[in-house]
Structure 1
């Protein structure tokens, strides 16, 4: 070892403690399970969220203390004439396919069989009651300008919010959140709120850029509720230019995905596009199940549902009919060339997020991560490679003062990873033990 100076400074620059202060009544660290909109779209009899008390108990038993949900503020409190629909929302999913089954049946988040009606307001209150019984806190977000309305049988919800001028949508969200927070406060659940997000992934939703009215709406909501942490989340924060983010966010709730080898496969099979001539291409056809119908035979969901979501028809078809073993085999075969860059990308993005949060003196949260969007039955992310990348992300986040984090976006009751209880308990114990 050398004692030469080498421009490294004489003061230890290692960050200490959390990136920013957090409310005293909330947990020292947030271990987050991403329930998104599935807590009301997968509540069918026998579904993963049919019994809210039971699933909250199981979540707590696995070591989680936080759930992150779409609270549907525009449906419930948007003053858009949707009160009746909110009290009796018929869940359909993407609908039945003429080929048999339903669209999205083997696609994560879209595997919604539907066939039931839910009172979303009462269910929200039931969820908070159950969370209180089992010591869970709740991150509130909205996926409404991303996909939530597409799971309803009626297009009324989507049409109502889509009819709002683009420039007015952030103000609408802020007003709806104000009313929803007031309702939860009246019900005695204010201290159960860990964070309020104006919207999930504003950069991947049918919204203007956050600086075009969104940051103002966040600030106004923070002024109305100064005791709460209020922000908006990014699906892909500008890691190389974090200074470009608008001021005023009450927390750094950002998502860290490193697609790497997954992105290479998606580009190869052209699965995220729409209206591609000759779809599916030969590379995708080589990965399909033997019984896969053609796209024409499989059919399409109602056109309004594609308008209401950011997922394309090619993705729904491809993920529904991919052979998961062939999919995983390709990823494992090619992963070696991407291993180091994926690890470095996760690490560098977490560090960038944490550094920005420390500069802004706000708590940092990784609300989603770590690889990306995979078919429901593919287990590359749930397997040893994915878990290894998740462990790397979690440890990096802890070392840099991140307050809350998911174990991975697929660590939730509606995904197969939920069955790996031992790994979840171990990872959550690591988070809780870190000081």
Structure 2
């Protein structure tokens, strides 16, 4: 008998676990990433998760993480925008008090910021870098400033200053700010703590132009100023079906992999992420609200400038603040079976697309966020065995395809309830680091 010829596959028969691209020798071989985002300064009041930077770093290292990803607020601390006084005495307010009691965002993720304190953000940043070095952790420097960071301040000047920068010049001010900040980090003897620099988080979901309109030149200029540093941007939803559209200027393929699946089905059903919907909240959302939920009108809205400074909507705030988290989780679990296979395949296919693009470009790949999506703070779908299985599938796929850094889960950080599940985080981070 002769073997039939069935063509030649494009991809190799087995995945290649070797790194997709080289990384500096002083950095860890693999990064187990904890997403501290901007919360390291917006949840730093007395008794809050980041009240003591060293304690938060100790807890992070204890769970097996060797990298944290943060908003370094470069435009505030080194932007040259006349904000030096604010950078050293920043009032943290959150989204402000709500007319119905408490504060806007009190039961959301990331926006549950009561505020009520002031801090020297510039000094705190260097305190974080020093703590990271003590604990053997490296830091990914990014900016969330054109996505939401300034909305948590009690002073609108931060947002007003960066918003006054013309759209076409925003990558330039980010690059210049990071250049000055990295100068200062280098002068402090802490440059080896920086894993890489992201001009901005999720440029596709921020108040920024396409990367090709100024971003590429800005990255190249920053790399010229600091040639020993990896410089990139991240995408919230990379073009998985057209990865050739991405710029070769990205020195790290830092992308996010969220497979909304059943979550998206629920969000569409209750119209929770829109803006200006007639008749909001609809009947489906009302059926999932807490018994004590106020009307949408009574709930009110944060200050107008705060909504302009963030990408979330008033409908999202109301819905996540007043959803019955148990009812939310029950709906997701009841309908998960309809979406399970698609969600697993989506995570795998996106991770593979990212890693193959990175290998083609010869750069390290990083999955800095994932795996399901945005849920109420008290919801446990992603933290449940169902959600953890999706996360583990993503992590194992990433490692099998040579991804350099991977997040355990976007919800696994000091400011989320999932932080309490230390054993799971230690186990999956050991997979990543080989520990």
In the other structure, the counterpart of 1:6 is: 6
In the other structure, the counterpart of 1:281 is: 282
Figure out how many residues of one structure are paired with residues of the other and give that number. 433
Q: CA deviation at 1:219?
A: 1.4
Paired with 1:213 and 1:296, the residues of 2 have a C-alpha distance of 41
Q: Does 1:72 align with 2:73?
A: yes
Q: CA deviation at 1:12?
A: 5.8
Paired with 1:257 and 1:336, the residues of 2 have a C-alpha distance of 18
In the other structure, the counterpart of 1:85 is: 86
Q: CA deviation at 1:8?
A: 3.4
Specify the SS of the correspondent of 2:91.
Answer: strand
Q: Does 1:57 align with 2:54?
A: no
Q: CA deviation at 1:433?
A: 1.8
Paired with 2:9 and 2:149, the residues of 1 have a C-alpha distance of 51
Q: CA deviation at 1:215?
A: 1.3
Partners of 1:219 and 1:249 within 8 A in 2: no
Taking structure 1 as the reference length, the TM-score comes to 0.98
Specify the SS of the correspondent of 1:376.
Answer: coil
In the other structure, the counterpart of 1:184 is: 185
In the other structure, the counterpart of 1:419 is: 420
Once the two structures are superposed, residues 210-234 of structure 1 have per-residue CA deviations (whole angstroms, 9 ceiling, x without a partner) of 1111011111111221211110000
State the Cα RMSD in Å. 1.3
Once the two structures are superposed, residues 35-88 of structure 1 have per-residue CA deviations (whole angstroms, 9 ceiling, x without a partner) of 000000000100000011111011101100000000000001111100001110
In the other structure, the counterpart of 2:46 is: 45
Q: CA deviation at 1:9?
A: 6.3
In the other structure, the counterpart of 2:257 is: 256
In the other structure, the counterpart of 1:375 is: 376
Specify the SS of the correspondent of 2:403.
Answer: coil
Taking structure 2 as the reference length, the TM-score comes to 0.98
Paired with 2:409 and 2:8, the residues of 1 have a C-alpha distance of 35
- 1:192-203 → structure 2 map (5 Å cutoff): 192-203=193-204
Paired with 1:95 and 1:231, the residues of 2 have a C-alpha distance of 33
Paired with 1:82 and 1:156, the residues of 2 have a C-alpha distance of 8
Specify the SS of the correspondent of 1:257.
Answer: coil
Specify the SS of the correspondent of 1:370.
Answer: coil
In the other structure, the counterpart of 1:350 is: 351
Partners of 1:69 and 1:141 within 8 A in 2: yes
Partners of 1:105 and 1:113 within 8 A in 2: yes
In the other structure, the counterpart of 1:140 is: 141
Q: CA deviation at 1:350?
A: 0.2
Specify the SS of the correspondent of 1:21.
Answer: coil
Partners of 1:96 and 1:102 within 8 A in 2: yes
Paired with 1:158 and 1:300, the residues of 2 have a C-alpha distance of 18
Unaligned runs of 5+ in 2: none
Paired with 2:405 and 2:221, the residues of 1 have a C-alpha distance of 24
Partners of 1:222 and 1:250 within 8 A in 2: no
Partners of 1:218 and 1:230 within 8 A in 2: yes
CA spacing shift, 1:336–1:168, aligned 2, 3 Å: same
Paired with 1:195 and 1:332, the residues of 2 have a C-alpha distance of 38
Paired with 2:227 and 2:353, the residues of 1 have a C-alpha distance of 26
Specify the SS of the correspondent of 1:289.
Answer: coil
In the other structure, the counterpart of 2:160 is: 159
Paired with 1:309 and 1:101, the residues of 2 have a C-alpha distance of 20
Partners of 2:15 and 2:400 within 8 A in 1: no
Specify the SS of the correspondent of 1:366.
Answer: strand
Paired with 1:409 and 1:218, the residues of 2 have a C-alpha distance of 26
Paired with 2:424 and 2:143, the residues of 1 have a C-alpha distance of 29
Paired with 1:93 and 1:108, the residues of 2 have a C-alpha distance of 12
Partners of 1:155 and 1:304 within 8 A in 2: yes
Partners of 2:94 and 2:115 within 8 A in 1: yes
Greater shift, 94-103 or 10-19, is seen at 10-19
Paired with 1:184 and 1:5, the residues of 2 have a C-alpha distance of 58
In the other structure, the counterpart of 2:34 is: 33
